[in-house]
Amino acid sequence: MIVAGGGIGALGLAVLMVTVIATIGTGHGLGTPLGRSRDLRVIDTDLVDGAIDPSVVLLEPGAVQFRVRNDGSTPRRFAIQGPGVFSQTDDLEPGASASLDLTLAQAGRYRLEVVSPSGDPLSSGILEVHQ
């Protein structure tokens, strides 16, 4: 994106960075279902040993469904915590799946967490909701 004066605007730079990250990502990266749609956004989320895939998610406010699959070697659960929200799946055995449906009404940063059945943190990521 070029603006008056010939430079790259902040929004253009952000779009470029997201594009580069998405292009060179290694699979444990970025989920970006941005758009003006009022439809339910579905995020396929894999819980692997030591990581969440995607580990960074960018959304606009609205309804979202995380389709979560435990691809790790031990039981674990997936949780989201942020402005006005705390929600988590039940414990998932290796190979098991669950859905987590919620409405993210407030802009802000949300924490994505994978925890053991006893509550010990295993991995984390971030969810950014922008107006």
Supply the pLDDT for residue 92.
98
Q: For 28-129, give the CATH class.
A: mainly beta
Residues 68-127 have pLDDT tens digits of: 999 999 999 999 999 999 999 999 999 999 999 999 999 999 999 999 999 999 999 999
Supply the pLDDT for residue 38.
61
Residues 6+ apart with CB under 8 A from 36: 60
Residues 6+ apart with CB under 8 A from 53: 27, 28, 29, 45, 46
Residues 27-78 have pLDDT tens digits of: 444 444 445 446 899 999 999 999 999 999 999 999 999 999 999 999 999 9
